[in-house]
């Protein structure tokens, strides 16, 4: 992804996950907003955006960060929200035996005390593969990989969800289900 695309992708993530009101945009409960309105609000606030730019960013995203509706008219972020406007009705799903979470070594003491919390987002984010988890952890500093006993948690009544882009979500992970 070019430098410029990366900036636009970050802008879209910020608006569609966290602060739609920063450009006067509304999202529905499922996180959707009309692409036409996104473009109008973005342009009004000084960001160059059009249909082509949006479609390119969506298609270039290896992580499939954004979904386009079947009719091609609406867009949403697949996961990662903190906006109160959004409460996506993710489908519950039985997880594999283990899921992974990458974090920074500097957080580990606090995680030992509290387990994994969702922090500013609506869910704790987990991945099915170690590589992705390590990459996610590296965003915060020297990474450490945590192995989550997901199926055991599920067996004890904890709920798991999977976003359209494959990212696993759960409300919290008590430390007893975490292997360092
Ligand atoms: C940590 C990206 C101390 C947690 C990624 C993480 C992901 C604690 C940080 C998605 C803690 C929150 C989400 C505790 C959790 N004490 N630290 N008790 N509990 N933490 O960014 O999982 O590229 O909100 O380990 O790919 O890093 O943006 O979550 O380090 O899927 O599309 O608190 O964002 O996607 O950080 O990343 P974040 P995350 P995008």
Q: Is residue 52 part of a domain?
A: yes
**163 and 123 housed in the same domain:** yes
Return the pLDDT at 34.
Answer: 98
The answer to whether residue 88 sits within a structural domain is no
Instruction: Please give the Cα distance from 126 to 1 (Å, whole number).
Output: 24
70 and 106 share one domain:
no
Q: What is the pLDDT of residue 1?
A: 60
Any ligand 1 atom below 6 A from CB of 133: no
Measure CA 113 to chain center: 25
**Does the Cβ of 14 fall within 6 Å of ligand 1?**
no
The pLDDT of residue 104 is 98
Q: Which of 61, 62, 38, 59 has the alpha carbon at shortest distance from 50?
A: 38
Question: Is residue 160 situated within a structural domain?
Answer: yes
CA 125 to centroid of ligand 1, rounded, Å: 7
Q: Which domain holds residue 34?
A: 3-77
Q: Is the CB of 149 under 6 A from ligand 1?
A: no
Q: Does residue 82 lie in a domain region?
A: no
Q: How far is CA 122 from the centre of its chain?
A: 9
Give the pLDDT band of residue 4 (cuts 50, 70, 90).
confident
Mean pLDDT of 140-146: 98
For the Cβ of 12 lying below 6 angstroms from any atom of ligand 1, the answer is: no
Q: How far apart are CA 154 and CA 144, in angstroms?
A: 24
- Of 145, 155, 70, the residue nearest 103 (C-alpha): 145
Which element (helix H / strand E) includes 41?
helix 35-44
Would 40 be classed as within a structural domain? Answer: yes
Nearest CA to ligand 1 atom 3: 107
Q: How far is the CA of 28 from the centre of ligand 1 (A)?
A: 24
pTM over 0.85? The answer is yes
């Amino acid at each position: 992804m070019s430098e410029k695309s990366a900036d636009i992708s970050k802008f879209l993530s910020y608006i569609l996950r966290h602060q739609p009101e920063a450009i006067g945009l509304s999202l529905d409960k499922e996180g959707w907003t009309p692409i036409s309105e996104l473009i109008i609000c973005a342009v009004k606030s000084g960001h160059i955006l059009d249909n082509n730019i949006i479609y390119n960013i969506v298609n270039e995203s290896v992580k499939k960060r954004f979904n386009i509706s079947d009719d091609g008219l609406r867009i949403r972020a697949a996961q990662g929200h903190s906006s109160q406007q959004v409460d996506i009705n993710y489908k519950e799903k039985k997880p594999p035996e283990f899921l992974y979470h990458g974090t920074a070594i500097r957080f580990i003491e606090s995680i030992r005390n509290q387990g994994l919390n969702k922090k500013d987002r609506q869910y704790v984010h987990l991945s099915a593969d170690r590589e992705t988890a390590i990459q996610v952890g590296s965003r915060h500093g020297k990474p450490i990989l945590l192995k989550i006993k997901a199926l055991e948690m599920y067996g004890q009544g904890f709920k798991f969800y999977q976003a359209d882009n494959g990212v696993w979500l759960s409300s919290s992970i008590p430390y007893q289900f975490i292997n360092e």
